[in-house]
Structure 1
Amino acid sequence: MATVTRPVRETHDGPRNLVEMSWDPITRIVGSLGIYTKIDFANKQVAECHSTSSIFRGYSVFMKGKDPRDAHFITSRICGICGDNHATCACYAQNMAFGVRPPAIAEWIVNLGEAAEYMFDHCIYQDNLVGVDYCEQMVRETTPSVWAKAQKKAAPHAADHGYRTIADIMTALNPFTGDFYREALQMSRLTREMFCLMEGRHVHPSTLYPGGVGTVPTQQLFTDYLVRLMKYVEFMKKVVPLHNDLFDFFYEALPGYEEVGRRRVLLGCWGSWNDPKVCDYEYRHMNEWGKAMYVTPGVVVDGKTVTNNLVDINLGIRILLGSSFYDDWEGDEMFVTHDPLGNPVDRRHPWNQTTTPRPQRRDFEGKYSWVMSPRWKHPETGEHLALDTGGGPIARLWSTALAGTVDIGYIKATGHSVKIYLPKTAMKPEVEFEWKIPKWSNAIERNRARTYFQAYAAACALHFAEKAMEELHAGRTRTFTDFTVPDEAIGCGFHEAVRGVLSHHVVIRDGKIANYHPYPPTPWNANPRDVYGTPGPYEDAVQNTPIFEENGPDKFKGVDIMRAVRSFDPCLPCGVHMYTGEGKLLEVRHVPMFGAQG
């Protein structure tokens, strides 16, 4: 962390001393994310923020010319955390491009695998990475007055989770020594096993393909999954009340804490878990099968739904530059002028994007990041909205709640909330949790939603397992539909990676990939200021965030800034990748064969 103190800005009261502080790289995430700030310690507020990423994203370059059937295997390597989400989304795009519909049991197997991934990743991130920001050690060091209050505050739901005070919860979150920290590690192992039962290998699946899966469905397979799932369901009955007690305490102990990481409600969700009865992967039916997803796609602006239509969502995507290290493609070839429904496709849409890197010195007054700036163009206002994913769960739950269409027994969306029903388990009775649309999109509510979505994913997995076994018992066990690769086609896949929206857009010409652009959640969240000067979501959420940390500049840890950024669940491998251009010959070496002389 670098620190420089200087008078930077004048106010009506005179000079305003801002302290420049940077965290590069941000810890407890994957990848090269740098956060550069100017902090007004006198007024305890972040005055300015820039989000940077220091390596180039290159998949859109080297995917060109590849066999379209390999897209899911290649793109799963985009990330070592959510590679299966990429493989799944790529298969969705391939299914559309190839005109293939997998058998129902194959879709239920994919849904079970993806549900396990949400449970695994949210568990390990929430309790072993984000949780550290709220643990005893961190709170003691940054806000000792809050620790003193936590010791005296009885936990309202102690009977449900077993911790008498808020301080006891914080102690249980201490890394490596805390009881709850260690328990969460065990649960993340259990959910990873669940994933591997369905998709073969974590995190790069070995059994996912366009047209279906290679997993062999058996009674034993689903039983092994369910045994583990019920242990996780029981764990959720402890986790949800525990986190509610912890997060509610921060609002109580620190009045005004709702402003930490708060930004305008601009949420994007592309939907998750297809219903095989409705989803045929045909673009002309995309609105219908999108709305049948078990997480409802939607764009939510200022707390209200703009659209749940995946066709509208697709056509509204724009890739802007501004502060990114790339050349523009304004004069380049248009790969797709109209979608299969005849709607015009914009030049700045992923189907038409060209990626040309232009390395240069970082300049916060000019270009300063390798992340581009995805935006969604509002069909009525024309605004290029800097949507965020809120780390994934808050956008998913908000969109699903407002839509009010999901009702599967274990889950019911009400129009203003989502009810989650968890059945009786070995040690705990049945429980119903209700996630209610919050007042704010801020750090605390992003984290709270992550807790509820773990329970949501577990409840959905119970439904998927029942549906899969219905197919099995009916003898419908074929898991693959044959297909041929067309000479020319376009396709798009929409899914939710763990931390938010994920889309893959492919153009096929002469039987090869002519253009391919994956857009995961991190480019949506971590992008820099665009051509219109609009800051990216990290930047926007950190700017004007109040500082509650009690340390001065000399011992400042930036915990409130870290809580704001980490609430989005950053994962920079999905935002940037190494690029070597044409390469460079370093050495030619002749190695003799085994047994050869000389």
Structure 2
Amino acid sequence: MTQTAKDDLLEMSWDPITRIVGSLGMYTKIDWSAKRVVEAYSTSSIFRGYSIFMKGKDPRDAHFITSRICGICGDNHATCSVYNQNMAYGVRPPHLGEWIINLGEAAEYMFDHNIFQENLVGVDYCEKMVRETNPGVLELAERTEAPHAGDHGYRTIADIMRSLNPLEGEFYREALQVSRLTREMFCLMEGRHVHPSTLYPGGVGTVATVQLFTDYLTRLMRYVEFMKRCVPMHDDLFDFFYEALPGYEEVGRRRVMLGCWGSLNNPEFCDFRYENMSDWGRKMFVTPGIVIDGDLVTNDLVDINLGIRILLGSSYYEDWEDREMFVDRDPLGNPVDRRHPWNQHTIPKPQKRDFDEKYSWVMSPRWFNGSEHLALDTGGGPIARLWSTALAGLVDIGGYVRSTGSSVVINLPKSATKPETTFEWKIPKWSNAIERNRARTYFQAYCAAAALHFVDKALAEVRAGRSKTWEPFEVPADGVGCGFTEAVRGVLSHHMVIRDGKIANYHPYPPTPWNASVRDSFGTPGPYEDAVQNTPIFEENSPENFKGIDIMRTVRSFDPCLPCGVHMYLGNGHVLEKLHTPHAFDGSV
């Protein structure tokens, strides 16, 4: 962290921000007298360029290559790429293959959200951190009884905070053990974490047996047991912060502009045809949708697709206005914009950082509603998923999960030591740091409940003798495809154009470019920037000892992951070659 005083404002920067992957920086100006952030800039200083080197590749390699975009959510990229390819090739996998993919993705959500919530973002609320930044709050926490102590076992809020202390806290260590279970669950379905080895267009190579799903289920039930403690514990902790610090709902708060692309396809309806995408998209087990100011604007994946715009704004790229249009009409005949991913050209232009001009390698994805380019955020993924699913009221997952129009009801069956338990995530008053984190806990329970249904369906297929998991296909000479799903952190799309049997254009858009985007061509700040700007400062430290905990809680509530935001650039460098003279071990040349 660095800080300088200028024009009665305190300039402070955190670069890189810790406990996340990638070189994310946050540059702020703070009005210390008002204890409020007045300006914020989100930066990233690395570039990798998958959209450039995907050109000319065999389309069948797309999921193996794009999986390597990230070492955290690589399977989400592989899955989305496979969906993309299924559409381009016109192939529909067997039901069992899709249930297996759903089980793998559910395990990934459980794994990643668990380890981030308890072992990374949880540290922001642990006893050691609160002692350093808000000792008055810790004193109150010591005196405050936890309302759900009987469910999670911690008598006071301070006891919960101590359990989250890194490396030594009881719940911190328990979460690490649970993360191992969920990683094993993933590997049972997709072979390897985090880059799947059994995932292909047309289905999966996993050998489906009763034993396979039983092994998954035994681990899943241990996770179900864990969630029955986890949800009430986090409710107690997050509710306490609202009570202890009146006005804390303003930390990380921004206008409700949430995007969810939907996830966990229903194989009974999903045929991957673009012409039917509106219908099978609404049958997803997590409902796609765009929520603006609390209203569900659309849950139609065709509308969502056509509204995507990639603006350059304050990023280090040249415009592509004069470059080739790859797709002018979608398969339904709708016009496709030049700034849509199907038509994007990535033309890097490295330069010195200038907050008045260009200052990051992250572009500015926006969603165009016909009049405005909206800076949607994912809220770290779960809050957008739950909000969209709740409003749509379309989900009923085998009695395990049900959306009501204003909430999501999650039923977890009896487990080893705990009875059947029902949780209800209700649409909150705000999209802020606390509610993003709370939603992450509830969505873990959502995935556990959904996975129980997926196991039931997969076992029914095997017992009925329908053990086929893959459908053959042919790669067309020319075609287009798009895949939509949710990476752990939110919206994920892959768009591909095939010409002469090779990839002519390919653009993956994960959640990080949406959340970490910079000021766009209209001067609109990106979600990180917008959420940090105007955030009040509740930290009790003086400027000399300032930790910036309220700012860090805001940024980390989005679950940042910068590898998905930016990629490698070689520029005009030189290739160095070193020639080695072969020699034998006896010393002769």
If the TM-score is normalised by the length of the shorter chain, which range does it land in? Answer: over 0.9
Return the letter of the residue paired with 1:307.
Answer: T
Is it true that 1:427 corresponds to 2:420 in the alignment? no
1:428 to 1:45, Cα distance in 2 relative to 1, 3 A: same
Which of 131, 134, 138 is residue 122 of structure 2 equivalent to? 131
Is it true that 1:392 corresponds to 2:347 in the alignment? no
Which of 293, 306, 331 is residue 315 of structure 1 equivalent to? 306
Return the letter of the residue paired with 2:236.
Answer: D
Counterpart for residue 412 of structure 1:
402
- C-alpha displacement at 1:586, in angstroms? 1.5
Which of 186, 209, 222 is residue 213 of structure 2 equivalent to? 222
Counterpart for residue 543 of structure 2:
553
Counterpart for residue 201 of structure 2:
210
Contact 1:57/1:370 (8 A) holds in 2 = no
Q: Deviations over 1:230-258 (max 9, x none)?
A: 00000000000000000000000000000
CA distance in 1, matches of 2:325, 2:294: 35
Counterpart for residue 362 of structure 1:
353
Aligned-residue CA RMSD in angstroms?
0.8
Counterpart for residue 13 of structure 1:
none
Return the letter of the residue paired with 2:372.
Answer: E
Runs of 5+ consecutive residues of structure 1 not aligned to the other structure = 8-16
Is it true that 1:276 corresponds to 2:260 in the alignment? no
Counterpart for residue 5 of structure 2:
5
CA distance in 2, matches of 1:591, 1:470: 62
Q: Secondary structure at the match of 2:396?
A: coil
Contact 1:420/1:432 (8 A) holds in 2 = yes
CA distance in 1, matches of 2:74, 2:460: 29
Q: Secondary structure at the match of 2:150?
A: helix
Counterpart for residue 246 of structure 2:
255
CA distance in 1, matches of 2:319, 2:160: 51
Counterpart for residue 294 of structure 2:
303
1:145-544 aligned at under 5 Å gives the runs 145-379=136-370, 382-408=371-397, 409-544=399-534
CA distance in 1, matches of 2:522, 2:584: 62
CA distance in 2, matches of 1:127, 1:322: 35
Q: Deviations over 1:173-229 (max 9, x none)?
A: 000000000000000111000000001000000000000101000011000000000
Contact 1:57/1:575 (8 A) holds in 2 = no
- C-alpha displacement at 1:587, in angstroms? 2.7
1:91-130 aligned at under 5 Å gives the runs 91-130=82-121
CA distance in 2, matches of 1:302, 1:59: 34
CA distance in 2, matches of 1:506, 1:584: 31
Return the letter of the residue paired with 1:421.
Answer: N
Q: Secondary structure at the match of 2:484?
A: strand
Identity %: 76
CA distance in 1, matches of 2:61, 2:312: 29
CA distance in 1, matches of 2:411, 2:12: 45
- C-alpha displacement at 1:594, in angstroms? 5.0
- C-alpha displacement at 1:495, in angstroms? 0.4
Counterpart for residue 51 of structure 2:
60
1:8-47 aligned at under 5 Å gives the runs 17-47=8-38
Q: Deviations over 1:455-493 (max 9, x none)?
A: 000000000000000100011111110001100000000
Q: Secondary structure at the match of 1:453?
A: helix
- C-alpha displacement at 1:56, in angstroms? 1.1
- C-alpha displacement at 1:376, in angstroms? 0.1
CA distance in 1, matches of 2:234, 2:204: 37
CA distance in 1, matches of 2:447, 2:24: 28
Which of 573, 579, 589 is residue 579 of structure 2 equivalent to? 589
Q: TM-score, normalised by structure 1?
A: 0.97
CA distance in 2, matches of 1:473, 1:421: 26
Return the letter of the residue paired with 1:394.
Answer: I
Bigger mean CA offset, 581-590 vs 242-251: 581-590
Count of equivalent residues:
587
1:142 to 1:535, Cα distance in 2 relative to 1, 3 A: same
Return the letter of the residue paired with 2:6.
Answer: R
Which of 42, 54, 61 is residue 51 of structure 1 equivalent to? 42
Q: Secondary structure at the match of 1:554?
A: helix
- C-alpha displacement at 1:582, in angstroms? 5.7
Q: Secondary structure at the match of 2:545?
A: coil
Return the letter of the residue paired with 2:61.
Answer: D
- C-alpha displacement at 1:2, in angstroms? 1.0
CA distance in 1, matches of 2:119, 2:535: 24
Q: Deviations over 1:79-112 (max 9, x none)?
A: 0000000000000000000110100000000000
Return the letter of the residue paired with 1:224.
Answer: D
CA distance in 2, matches of 1:365, 1:267: 27
Counterpart for residue 85 of structure 1:
76
Contact 1:247/1:448 (8 A) holds in 2 = yes
Q: Secondary structure at the match of 2:438?
A: helix
Return the letter of the residue paired with 2:34.
Answer: N
- C-alpha displacement at 1:57, in angstroms? 3.6
- C-alpha displacement at 1:579, in angstroms? 1.6
CA distance in 1, matches of 2:392, 2:158: 38
- C-alpha displacement at 1:578, in angstroms? 1.7
Q: TM-score, normalised by structure 2?
A: 0.99
Q: Secondary structure at the match of 2:336?
A: coil
- C-alpha displacement at 1:581, in angstroms? 3.6
Return the letter of the residue paired with 1:461.
Answer: A
Return the letter of the residue paired with 1:261.
Answer: G
Contact 1:65/1:514 (8 A) holds in 2 = yes
